[in-house]
A and B are shown apart, each in its own frame.
Chain A
Amino acid sequence: MKRAAVLIAIALLISCEREERGFRVQPPQADRINSKQLTTLQPGESIPQQVVVNEYEQNAFALTEGKRLFSQMNCVGCHANGGGSIGPALMDAKWIYGSQPDQIFATIVEGRPNGMPSFHGKLPDYQIWQLAAYVRSLSGQTPKDAAPGRNDNMQVKEPENSKDREKPNDASLPKSAERPE
């Protein structure tokens, strides 16, 4: 009984952060150390790659802000609502330039050949991290309790929080986009 109460208290505390609205906070780990590295080859001893955690992925507010930017910055123009049209689909298991948060950040900031524009200097970093978090929620990579549950406009597909998690399929990646285990 006591244990259950403690568990409930912990669950409540965790869910507090989910709804927190950090208007003036950047995600703490949001640096771009690895973002430019698309190969494992390095001169000399190789530096082990760090995993960058985008804390916005745990936060419902940041994810919905990412969703708003996804349509307001016209990502939908090419990627549609995640299903892809001119640009590649974002809700499947295939990640051409990597599925990690920092790789998505780099893709948005730097742009990619054959059409992905560079948003360098066009959006503040924290909004790009919000976008990166939302892009990952499209294929179910973010916790379901934080992912958006509905659209502001007409619902065109199942909401992000009912999307089953896609396993990023490394076999389909070009060699250059692979990450070392």
Chain B
Amino acid sequence: MMKPAAKRDPLTGTLEMLILRTLSVAPAHGYAIAQHIARLSDGVFRVEQGSLYPALERLLQKGWATARWGESPTGRRARYYTITRAGRKQLQEKVSDYDRVAHAIARVLGRA
């Protein structure tokens, strides 16, 4: 079962959080997800493809996202990922975890 939120390591699953956040806007294929993350982070997060697809596979296995084959704008077959209800819930939790941690760090650094 889920451990209490405070005890979880805040940085695990950051990539998953970013992916879920991306998917929460609209279903997307892997490349689009990577692009989206890179663009929004001003190129700070360059998602290594080697970690992107295993992360997506993990999301599928946890049931936080589903995948189906669809047609991409270029006309090629692409695998589109869609966030599930469980995924949204998870995202919410992760974001609030993250907020708490970010807030905590900010306070320690004397910026809050």
Q: Do A and B come from one complex?
A: no
